[in-house]
Amino acid sequence: MQAIDPKVQECMVALRRDLHQHPELSWEETRTAAKVCQFLDRLHIPYRSGIAGTGIVATIPGRHEGPFIALRADMDALPIAEETGLPFSSEVEGVMHACGHDGHISMLLGAAMHLSRQQPPLLPVRLIFQPAEETVGGAKAMIREGVLEDVALIFGGHLDRHYPAGKVIISDGPVNASSDKFRIEISGQGAHAARPHESVDAVVVGSLLVMAIQTIVSREVNPAHPSVVSVGHFDAGTAANVIAGHALLEGSIRAQDPQVRDHLHNAIRRIAHSVGQLHDAEIKVEITKGTPPLINSPEMAALARRAAVSAVGADNVGQLASANMGGEDFSYYLNHVPGCYVRIGGRIPGHEGFPAHSSRFDFDESALSVGAAYYVAIAAVAGEWAYNNK
């Protein structure tokens, strides 16, 4: 198994705690980026900063010129007030690393420490430190800036409190769902509550829409393809004795299959149009596409498993226990180059009930060495594969 020097682990823990105390929101990761640059400077690893605002790309030379093996970490925090009680809790009011990105940065830099001190990898390794994963714009912006030029394969991972520290979870096929938003505006006719016959009641129309939308997944989608349509916001009315003439519905659409994703979009539009005709209401539907589904190919997942077995042993490599309906913008990278996205166990016993994006989220810091070891191993395994398949 791939061993990470205890001194590297100490550095990763210290960096993680510093980043955790000073979280920064999407597109504001200025201090975070400066810390990454300082770390790279100490390792004498060349880099470019200021990419897509606060992004950084570093290069570890390989023994051979050729395409890069890219490894990616996200850097942003969330607008959440921390309640962990940790001695290194956030010092920024209302902002917290509640998704493990402080750990992602630290494990990738730990891998960089190991790679820079050993024999150079077969092919050069590109380290991508990405802003704004939480707001879904960071990956696309980095790609526009050219971070995937000359990249053969790309790999990433996410800390996951569903699995104990020491585990690396790899699945081929869908790993994360697409994440889209819909907005439905209903224009009816307001009236006095005592004269409903003079109205086109936007509350009634909206309520019918809410219930009808819930039948899309349950009656139109194959149960073998996980998907979700949720209405999260319903706004209508101004007074108890006034029938509302306008209403607004907003919600989320998630799917793990691209064809199912398209069907959900079309079904929402179809149902909204039909309900509008039924009640003589004007209905406008806007659907905003977010991240596409994140899907690992069998070939790339096999490479990741080889690396994970090398890093932590076969007994500690597993598969996803259930579908993950959360979005992840690493999917944009996989739309351009092959790669694989894994989960890195970080559960703290007794803290199972505090998920990501919770004010009490934390992870087992021993997972940092696991993530670093995996990245070192995948740089070698993927480099060999890419070199032999040039």
Query: Tens place of pLDDT for every residue, the chain, 390 residues?
Result: 567 899 999 999 999 999 999 999 999 999 999 999 999 999 999 999 999 999 999 999 999 998 999 999 999 999 999 999 999 999 999 999 999 999 999 999 999 999 999 999 999 999 999 999 999 899 999 999 999 999 999 999 999 999 999 999 999 999 999 999 999 999 999 999 999 999 999 999 999 999 999 999 999 999 999 999 999 999 999 999 999 999 999 999 999 999 999 999 999 999 999 999 999 999 999 999 999 999 999 999 999 999 999 999 999 999 998 878 999 999 999 999 999 999 999 999 887 778 899 999 999 999 999 999 999 999 999 999 999 998
What span, in angstroms and rounded, lies between the C-alpha atoms of 4 and 168? Answer: 16
| Same domain? 112 vs 227 | no
| Same domain? 74 vs 102 | yes
Amino acid 9: pLDDT: 96
How many distinct structural domains can be found in the chain? 2
| Same domain? 145 vs 52 | yes
Is 358 inside a domain boundary?
yes
| Same domain? 165 vs 300 | yes
Domain's final residue, options 265, 291, 317: 291
The domain that contains 371 carries what CATH number?
Answer: 3.40.630.10
| Same domain? 286 vs 321 | no
Is 314 inside a domain boundary?
yes
60 to 32, 70, 330: CA distances (angstroms): 21, 10, 21
197 to 171, 200, 278: CA distances (angstroms): 57, 8, 15
The domain that contains 192 carries what CATH number?
Answer: 3.30.70.360
What span, in angstroms and rounded, lies between the C-alpha atoms of 240 and 198? Answer: 17
| Same domain? 186 vs 47 | no
Is 284 inside a domain boundary?
yes
3-state secondary structure of 266: helix
- Cβ-based neighbour number of residue 2 at 10 Å: 20
| Same domain? 87 vs 147 | yes
Q: Are strands 151-164 and 68-74 parallel, antiparallel or unpaired?
A: parallel
Is 35 inside a domain boundary?
yes
| Same domain? 125 vs 236 | no
| Same domain? 110 vs 64 | yes
Is 232 inside a domain boundary?
yes
Domain's final residue, options 245, 275, 291: 291
Domain's final residue, options 252, 268, 291: 291
Is 1 inside a domain boundary?
no
**Which range of residues forms the domain containing residue 346?**
6-174+293-388
Catalytic residue set: 76, 133
Q: Which residue has the tokens 């705690």?
A: 17
| Same domain? 286 vs 304 | no
| Same domain? 49 vs 15 | yes
| Same domain? 184 vs 63 | no
Is 25 inside a domain boundary?
yes
Amino acid 1: pLDDT: 59
Amino acid 4: pLDDT: 85
